[in-house]
Structures are given as C-alpha cells and as structure tokens.
Amino acid sequence: MKKLTREFFRRRSGRSAAVVATLTRALALDMERVVDITFTVWGEEQKKAFDYLGIAIDKLARGNLGHMISSPVTSDFPKRYDLVRIKFNDATRLLGATIQKMSAAMQSLSRLSGDIT
C-alpha cells in the first residue's frame, strides 16, 4: 500500500509539474504581448505628439506666433505629453509678447527721431 501511494503521488507530481510549466509559458507569452502592446501604444502617442510639435515649429519658423497646440481635451494630442505642449505654447506666447514690445519700442523710437529732425 505504501509503495502504491508513493507511486500515485509521484505521477500526480509529474502531471502538476507539466501543468505548472505550461501555465508559466502561457503567462510569459501574455506578459510579452502586454509589453509589446504597451510599447506600441507609447510609440504611437510619441509620434502623434512629435507630429503636432513639428507642425507648430514649422508655423513658428514661418512667423506664425498665434498658432497654439490644442489641448488633449479638445484634440487627439496625447495627454502624456501635455507638459511639453504647455511649455511650447507658453514659449510661443512669450516670444510673441517680446516681439510686440520690441515693435512698440521701435515705433516709439521712430516717432521720437521724427520729432528731433
């Protein structure tokens, strides 16, 4: 009886090991899929954010200081990159304000120089 019981548990243990090995492989494949999908989504978000930034930089380079990148609330701009969008828009706004001040100062100088002559 003792020998029979030992044999029974040995066989069960072998099957359990096979089941555990199969489950481990399945879990590893699932984890790999999750990681692949996560990296794919992150890559797509990054591409979208850089596409928006590229358009905004092109417009800025052409002198358009009024173009702002829309928020994730009103566009498909990725929320993960919203801080970059905010900083870019703030920098564009500040650049526009600086240019307006310089323009006003130049007009003032022009008027003053006209009064002197």
Q: Over 90: is that where the pLDDT of 23 sits?
A: no
Q: Measured in whole angstroms, how far is the alpha carbon of residue 78 from the centre of its chain?
A: 6
User: Does 99 score more than 70 pLDDT?
Assistant: yes
The pLDDT assigned to 100 comes to 93
Angle at alpha carbon of residue 96, lines to 90 and 97, rounded to 5°: 90
The predicted model scores a pTM of 0.68
Q: Is the pLDDT of residue 60 over 80?
A: yes
* Residue 69 per-residue DSSP state: P
Instruction: Please check the confidence at residue 1 and state whether its pLDDT lies above 90.
Output: no
Mean pLDDT of 19-38: 87
- CA–CA separation, 9 and 63 (whole Å): 80
Which residues have CB under 8 Å from 47's CB, separation 6+?
none
Q: Give the DSSP letter of residue 104.
A: H
